[in-house]
């Protein structure tokens, strides 16, 4: 099976796995314990926090480790918004956010906050002008994801950050898809908070992190918690955290070479596609993650194309959730103005560091066969 679903999850790197095993075996102490075994684990945790902060040009006091990207989104958004609720009740996000973000906003709506969901254009990009027009005196918080997970479109975070800083509005971004793939500088982008995840960067599952500016006030979700300054309860997964930081460090060290490789693989795949009339690449033409290809197969439901690709030995995704055997229309495609039938035509092919041109050629040939057979 040729794996081409790296935007969903990645295999743990051999180096990260080695680090996990070493730390789990030799530094298994609880970081809150006062004996030497606990100190050993605490030292590794502190160094991991320092390194991760360095990767986003933040301060180590702003790093909080979590159980993954979804939990990071939920904790960051709720802890910040609830702490600033006295200043206003209006929040802004987009229609194309990850479910963990949209579900958290739905929860906050039930608590009395008003939510505005910004539309996107035909390439999946948010308009900064639309955002500016939506801001009101009660607006306290905006959450806009760095890259769309279905089509790879990048949002103009630097421009958005500049606008929100001028208005004294807090800014969060779900950076799970972009972390380790393109540079993230929280100061340059003027981000108050971001969420990242280990299993998207060749680290272990069940580990993630938030960055919250040390100058930012926040409210614990569960009062009385000890770990992570009360941000998240429970004993920390120190082996997983060390493996996470190791894995993303490897990616960032090769970030330019990987980006160049993904651009080449993307171009190679599209050149190998023979029937332009039966497929369309969705997403922004220039501002996108090159490792994600969102493709609409005209007249073919994405779930059928995905299953046929699987039968031919290629693991891809539909780019949206399936329920009871029926593919749900992609919320991204719907937000871009497509109807439900068109939104069900989306498939996603995503590349990883081990993806080869031979893999891409095989996938293109398989997809060509599927498109030509219908």
Question: Measured between alpha carbons, how far is residue 8 from residues 111, 150, 235, 349 in Å?
Answer: 31, 10, 27, 10
> Of 260, 322, 356, 372, which is the active-site residue?
322
Residue from 315, 294, 330, 293 nearest 366 by CA: 315
210 as an active site residue: the answer is: no
Residue matched to tokens 């190679």: 268
Determine the Cα–Cα distance for residues 91 and 138; give it in Å rounded to an integer: 8
Using CB atoms within 10 Å of the CB of residue 31, give its burial: 0 to 12 exposed, 13 to 18 middle, 19+ buried.
Answer: buried
Cα angle for residues 247, 359, 274 (degrees, 5° grid) = 135
Question: How many other CB atoms are found less than 10 A from the CB of residue 301?
Answer: 17
d(CA 364, CA 71): 36
Order of strands across the sheet that contains 208-212: 63-66, 208-212, 193-197, 170-174, 139-143, 90-94, 114-118
> Which residues are marked as active site?
322
């Amino acid at each position: 099976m040729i794996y081409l679903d790296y935007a969903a999850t990645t295999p743990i790197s051999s180096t990260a796995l080695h680090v996990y095993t070493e730390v789990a075996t030799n530094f298994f102490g609880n970081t809150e314990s006062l004996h030497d075994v606990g100190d050993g684990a605490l030292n590794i945790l502190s160094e991991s926090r320092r390194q991760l902060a360095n990767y986003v040009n933040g301060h180590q006091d702003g790093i909080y480790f979590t159980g993954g990207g979804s939990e990071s989104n939920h904790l960051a958004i709720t802890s910040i918004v609830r702490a600033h609720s006295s200043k206003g009740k209006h929040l802004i996000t987009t229609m194309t956010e990850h479910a963990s973000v949209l579900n958290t906003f739905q929860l906050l709506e039930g608590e009395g906050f008003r939510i505005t969901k910004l539309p996107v254009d035909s390439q999946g990009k948010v308009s900064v002008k639309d955002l500016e027009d939506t801001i009101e005196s009660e607006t306290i918080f905006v959450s806009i994801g760095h890259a769309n997970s279905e089509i790879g479109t990048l949002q103009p975070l630097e421009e958005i950050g500049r606008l929100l800083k001028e208005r004294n509005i807090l800014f969060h971004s779900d950076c799970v898809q972009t972390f380790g793939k393109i540079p993230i500088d929280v100061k340059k982008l003027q981000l108050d908070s971001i969420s990242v995840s280990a299993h998207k960067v060749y680290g272990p599952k069940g580990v993630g992190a938030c960055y919250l500016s040390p100058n930012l006030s926040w409210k614990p979700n569960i009062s009385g918690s000890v770990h992570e300054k009360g941000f998240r309860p429970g004993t920390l997964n120190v082996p997983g955290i060390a493996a996470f930081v190791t894995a993303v460090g490897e990616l960032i060290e090769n970030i330019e070479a990987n980006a160049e490789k993904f651009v080449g693989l993307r171009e190679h795949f599209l050149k190998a596609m023979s029937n332009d009339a039966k497929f369309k690449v969705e997403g922004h033409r220039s501002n996108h993650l090159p490792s994600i290809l969102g493709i609409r197969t005209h007249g073919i439901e994405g779930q059928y194309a995905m299953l046929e690709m699987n039968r031919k030995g290629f693991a891809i995704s539909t780019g949206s959730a399936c329920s009871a055997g029926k593919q749900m229309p992609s919320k991204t495609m719907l937000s871009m103005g497509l109807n439900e039938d068109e939104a069900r035509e989306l498939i996603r092919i995503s590349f990883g560091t081990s993806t080869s041109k031979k893999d891409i050629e095989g996938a293109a040939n398989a997809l060509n066969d599927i498109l030509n057979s219908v």
